[in-house]
């Protein structure tokens, strides 16, 4: 991360704090008949589409916290170089820009879905990982004169981000009916339809898909655009990090249980639902032959998501759901040689280009088993609701003479 400034694509250098998506091991000669293995990081300059990863730096911070919590060894996160690396990542993510939203603006292909899938803008997966990384940073960042302003910025962003996602990304039957009756072209601070969403955007599959006792956080929100697809990783991490309210978190698991055949099927868990097909597939993916409908990132099933589902279930006291999913995976994963992903609408077949003996598939399954056997230890990895954080209002609109902040009115929804 410290030499990311050296990485260039066509003479352009990314900002410091960018973490590599992957490493290659190279063998270089150092003397006569002597060789040394070195790591060659890829910051996106070798990636398909040359897209720099946004999520790798966020994951790094989350895993730093997890390592300390599980092992009790906090010496790693206290090291000067590690603290410096964390600050570089945070400064890159928290830099001021043109955007009006507290969510992180990213390009397509910058996260687990690393190919074109129409998730550019403010995809839920990045917002949930961003929120978890910020909460992790609050716990492990050394507070001193040099970091006081950064800590204050983190607190302000956490507050604004939680409000934004809970208020505008959540959909259930009540919210869908509100959108169905939206007035458009509203110009004022008091507008109900703040993002100028046209009711015609509601897809036909959605009306009958969302159960009465459930809901979820949509995949993306931008002006005049709501991506109503269900993205599993973002919703699971919203539960784990308490980005969603307790009631919303319960609603997400209710939806997964109700739509088990769609989201879990024969192999947990589908990366997103539904797949994009036909002309929509050609336009959104650029006719990507790997992301054909119900394959790979376009509605494929990824066993590595199992441990994150298990962690969410442990947090919400729904162990029976996790055990049901683990039992499904246990029947096939070893027999199928631990594939990367599965294809078809129900996840019946091993993916066409799926690599076998994948570390993250094996690790995800083993971690899930351990979490179910020891839920108390698993509790170290998730976050509860932070009521002190929710009391801080960063909008301060009343102080500027503009319309009062709506946070007080929304608090009844937030603090469920």
Cα–Cα separations (whole angstroms), residue 115 to 8, 24, 205, 359, 382: 20, 20, 25, 21, 29
pLDDT greater at residue 221 or residue 386: 221
pLDDT score at 398: 43
What is the predicted pLDDT for the residue at 7? 66
Residues 128 and 9 in one domain: no
Based on the domain organization, do 218 and 301 belong to the same domain? Answer: no
Residues 7-31: tens digit of each pLDDT: 666 666 767 777 787 888 888 888 8
Both 277 and 367 in a single domain? yes
Do 89 and 205 fall within a single domain? yes
DSSP 317: T
Q: With a cut of 80, say whether residue 277 has pLDDT above it.
A: yes
Q: What is the CA angle 217-95-407, rounded to 5?
A: 45
- Judged against a pLDDT cut of 70, whether residue 2 lies above it is answered with no
pLDDT of the residue at 29: 87
- 72 domain residue, yes or no: yes
Same domain flag for 206 and 349: no
Residue 109 belongs to a domain: yes
H or E stretch at 63: helix 55-71
Is residue 89 a part of any domain in this protein?
A: yes
Q: How many domains does the chain have?
A: 3
Give pLDDT, residue 396. 41
Q: Do 280 and 302 share a structural domain?
A: yes
The verdict on residue 23 lying in a domain is yes
Residues 6+ positions from 318 with CB-CB distance below 8 Å: 253
Domain match, 29 and 90 both: no
Residue 9 belongs to what domain range? 1-47
Q: Pull the structure tokens for residue 379.
A: 């509790």
* pLDDT over threshold 70, residue 78: yes
pLDDT of residue 213: 92
Quick one: 189 and 336 in the same domain? Answer: no
Within-domain flag for 235: no
Is the pTM here over 0.85, yes or no?
yes
Does residue 211 contact residue 255 with C-beta atoms inside 8 Å? yes
89 and 174 share one domain = yes
Q: How far apart are CA 366 and CA 161, in angstroms?
A: 33
Whether residue 89 is found in the same domain as residue 194: yes
Name 349's bridge partners: 343
Residue whose tokens read 């990045």: 126
Question: Which whole number is the average pLDDT over 400-411?
Answer: 46
Indicate the SS3 state at residue 102: coil
Asked whether the bond before 274 is cis by omega within 30 degrees of 0, the reply is yes
Locate 370 and state its tokens: 């351990």
Q: Measured between alpha carbons, how far is 385 from 375 in angstroms, rounded to an integer?
A: 18
Are 66 and 214 within one domain? Answer: yes
Nearest to 263 by CA among 346, 330, 205: 346
Alpha helix segments (H runs only) across 72-140: 75-78, 80-93, 124-140
Asked whether residue 153 falls in the same domain as residue 36, the answer is no
pLDDT at 10: 66
Does residue 344 belong to any structural domain of this protein? yes
Residue pLDDT, tens place only, 159-216: 999 999 999 999 999 999 999 999 998 888 888 899 999 999 999 999 899 999 999 9
Does residue 273 form part of some domain?
Answer: yes
Is 213 part of any domain? yes
- 99 — pLDDT class (breaks 50, 70, 90): confident
Residue 106: count of CB within 10 angstroms of its CB: 23
Report the 10 Å Cβ neighbour count for 355. Answer: 12
The CA-atom distances, in angstroms, between 259 and each of 44, 125, 210, 226 are 36, 20, 8, 21
Q: What is the distance of C-alpha 328 from the center of its chain? A: 24
Last residue within a domain, chosen from 202, 223, 244: 223
Q: What is the mean pLDDT of residues 26-55?
A: 83
């Amino acid at each position: 991360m410290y030499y990311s400034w050296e990485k260039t694509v066509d003479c352009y250098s990314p900002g410091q704090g960018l973490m590599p998506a992957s490493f290659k091991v190279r063998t270089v000669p150092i003397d006569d008949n002597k060789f040394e293995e070195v790591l060659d990081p890829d910051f996106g300059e070798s990636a398909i589409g040359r897209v720099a990863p946004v999520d790798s730096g966020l994951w790094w911070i989350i895993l730093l916290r997890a390592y300390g919590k599980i092992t009790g060894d906090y010496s790693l996160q206290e090291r000067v170089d590690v603290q410096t690396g964390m600050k570089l990542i945070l400064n890159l993510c928290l830099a001021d820009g043109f955007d009006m939203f507290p969510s992180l603006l990213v390009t397509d292909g910058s996260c687990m879905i690393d190919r074109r899938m129409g998730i550019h803008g403010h995809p839920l997966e990045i917002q949930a990982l961003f929120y978890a990384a910020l909460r992790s940073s609050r716990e492990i960042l050394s507070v001193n004169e040099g970091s006081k302003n950064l800590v204050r910025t983190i607190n302000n962003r956490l507050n604004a981000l939680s409000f934004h996602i809970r208020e505008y990304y959540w959909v259930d039957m009540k919210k869908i009916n509100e959108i169905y009756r939206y007035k458009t072209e509203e110009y004022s601070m008091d507008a109900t339809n703040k993002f100028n969403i046209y009711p015609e955007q509601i897809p036909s599959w959605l009306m009958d898909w969302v159960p009465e006792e459930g809901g979820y956080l949509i995949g993306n929100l931008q002006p005049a655009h709501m991506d109503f697809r269900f993205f599993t990783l973002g919703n699971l991490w919203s539960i784990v990090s308490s980005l969603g309210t307790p009631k919303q978190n319960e609603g997400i698991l209710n939806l997964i249980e109700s739509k088990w055949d769609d989201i879990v099927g024969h192999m947990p868990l589908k990366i997103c639902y539904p797949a994009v097909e036909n002309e929509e597939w050609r336009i959104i993916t650029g006719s990507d032959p790997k992301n054909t409908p119900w394959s790979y990132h376009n509605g494929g099933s990824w066993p590595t998501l199992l441990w994150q589902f298990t962690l969410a279930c442990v947090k919400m006291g729904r162990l029976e759901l996790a055990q049901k999913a683990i039992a499904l995976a246990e029947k096939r994963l070893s027999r199928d040689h631990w594939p990367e992903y599965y294809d078809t609408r129900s996840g019946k077949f091993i993916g066409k280009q799926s690599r076998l003996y994948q570390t993250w598939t094996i690790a995800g399954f083993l971690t899930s088993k351990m979490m179910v056997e020891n839920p108390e230890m698993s509790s170290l990895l998730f976050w509860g609701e932070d009521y002190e954080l929710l009391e801080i209002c960063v909008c301060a609109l009343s102080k500027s003479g503009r319309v009062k902040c709506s946070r007080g009115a929304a608090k009844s929804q937030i603090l469920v």
